Each structure stands twice: as structure tokens, then as C-alpha cells.
Homo-oligomer: A and B are copies of this chain.
Amino acid sequence: MLSEFDLIKQYFVRPAHASKAQLGIGDDCALLGVAPGRSLAISSDMLVEGRHFFAGEDPRRLGHKSLAVNLSDLAAMGARPAGFTLALALPAADRDWLAGFSTGLFALADAHDCELIGGDTTKGPLNICITVFGEVVSGQALRRDAAQPGDDIWISGTLGDARLALAGIRGEVVVAGDAQRQAEQRLHLPTPRVALGLLLAERGLARAAIDISDGLVGDLEHILERSRVGATLDVDALPAGPVLAGYDPELRRAFTAAGGDDYELCFTAAPAQRAAILAAGDACGTPVTRVGRIDAAPGLQLTDGQGSPLELRLAGFDHFGNGTP
């Protein structure tokens, strides 16, 4: 079976092609040079019913999440949101659905001063495609290929509650009603870490960054591959979400390390920046936690809290390798 990454690599990446883009396929955003010293960060995400959200999903939450996953890509580049286009395929022009969807969408757009500038609507199986644009000073963008040996690895916010909510819905884990509702907030209404990404970029604190949408381990491996480095990750240092924190260590490890749908930032930074990074987290009200370090030798080593090697059965989310959500 052809994976999503192989598919893109084989059919859509053209390594021998001279590129006008400062950064093309393979990062959270592409960077298009638009003026001396300024780049436009651009990202597209497509959300499909039954794949990225359940049929019958509340349209207001869906409006929020559709834009949130795109803003999260801007956050991972350290870019300031500027605008977005929306292409929408709908089975029918349902007024209640449209009112809810647009309300959720614009509430988040307004909070980030990110304007809807155009798009397309058509009839078809429910599909939401947003392309988002952000501004970044050239050279300040947080790229996947910029990690250096000796860097700390940091995580924003907490991990795993979104995956726990999914486990509760699927019946993989028993989650009590209140806890399930709390966890589902993280699944359905993720908070893109735009302010943190901006501070990390503008203050020159972080080197590489990625947003954790497919699970930390899988996403971190993109940084390692592009930066040609390795890493050691203290799985027990990963900050579990408040609901997941009450569960046993094995589940906590699996869902923090490879849960997916967290939309937190994973970033690397020189150890000299530790105090400044904690201050940046404070300044924007987003906790940040140090969880590992970048190594010169390739490979990702997982350890427990004592530094002993840890074997976890983990898999990143692959849109052509896995089943439904």
C-alpha cells in the first residue's frame, strides 16, 4: 500500500526542479518570497467527512476545527495569520449547517485577525479545503530542517486528551461522561498556538518546529529526517492532558507520544534559551515543557523517566495506511 508520504514523494515532489519558492513541499507551510525580507507562509488542509471528522459533526465545531488545523501550520512556522480561502463541497445548501459552520469559522478567524478573502462552493460529498496565508520575516521562519545536535526538544500545552476522546468514542477505553466531554473539547476545538509560534520566531528563540497533528513521534521524525539528526525523547516527561493524566502510565505514554490531533507545537532550541522560552510561554499563557534533546546520531530513542530505553508500539497517522478516524 502506498503511504501518504510516498505518494507525495513519488508523484508530486520534483527534486531536480529549480524552485522559485523559498521553501516548497515538506514543511508545515510553503514560503513564497513576496518582498525583500518578507515571506508569505502558505498551507492547505483538506478535511473529509468520515476521515477527519464524524458524519453529523456539529457544524460550529467543524468550522472552528477546519480553520484551527490550518492556523496551527502557520503557528509551526512562526507566521502571523493574514487571510484564508475556503473551498467547500456540500451535499446540500442546508441553512442551519451553514449558519453554524460560518459562526464557528469566523469566531476563530476574528480572534486571529485572519480574513476570509475568497474561495469556492460546490455540491458534492462534504469536503472542506482551507488555504491559509501568513506573514513571516525571511530567516525567522521555524523550519523543519533547522534542528541542531544539542538542542532541547519542547512541547507546548498538553498531549493525548484528543486521542483519549477518540478512544472513548470508539469504545477502546472507558471514559466517564464528564471526562469524555472535557477530552472531546480538545478533539473538536483545538487551540492553534499562534501567539507562541510568533514569539518563538520573532524573538529568535526556536530553531525547528512542527505542529503535532499526526502524533508526536511521527511528527518529530519529520524534523529529524529533514534536519539529518537524531533525538532522545523522555516519554514520561511528556505533559499529559488533564483527563489522560488520570489514566495508567502505559496508556498515558502511548497517547502522549503518538496520539495525534493535539495541534500543539514541538520545537527545538538551544539550551541557552531555556529561561527565555519559559518566559515566552508565560507571556502568551501557553505552558511549555522540555521533553528531550536532539542528537547528532540518527534515530529516535524513547526513554522512560529514569533514562532507560522504552519500547512502545506506536504508529503515526497515515491517511492511506490506516482505517477511518
Contact = CB atoms under 8 A, between A and B. Distances in A.
Contact of A46 (B7, B24, B48, B122): B122
A50 B48 CA distance: 17
A117 B32 contact: yes
B118 A25 contact: yes
Interface string A86-106: 111100110100110110001
A275 interface: no
Interface residues of A, number: 67
**What is the total number of copies of this protein in its complex?**
2
Contact of A51 (B95, B101, B124): B124
Contact of A120 (B44, B88, B99, B116): B44
Contacts of A83: 20-21, 30, 32
Interface in A113-157: 113, 115-125, 127, 129, 131, 133
Interface stretch (A9-17, A225-233, A258-266, A291-299): A9-17
B32 A93 contact: no
B46 A129 contact: yes
B11 A98 contact: yes
Interface stretch (A35-43, A201-209, A237-245): A35-43
13 contacts: A10-B98, A12-B86, A14-B106, A21-B115, A24-B117, A25-B119, A29-B118, A34-B40, A35-B38, A40-B40, A44-B86, A46-B87, A46-B129
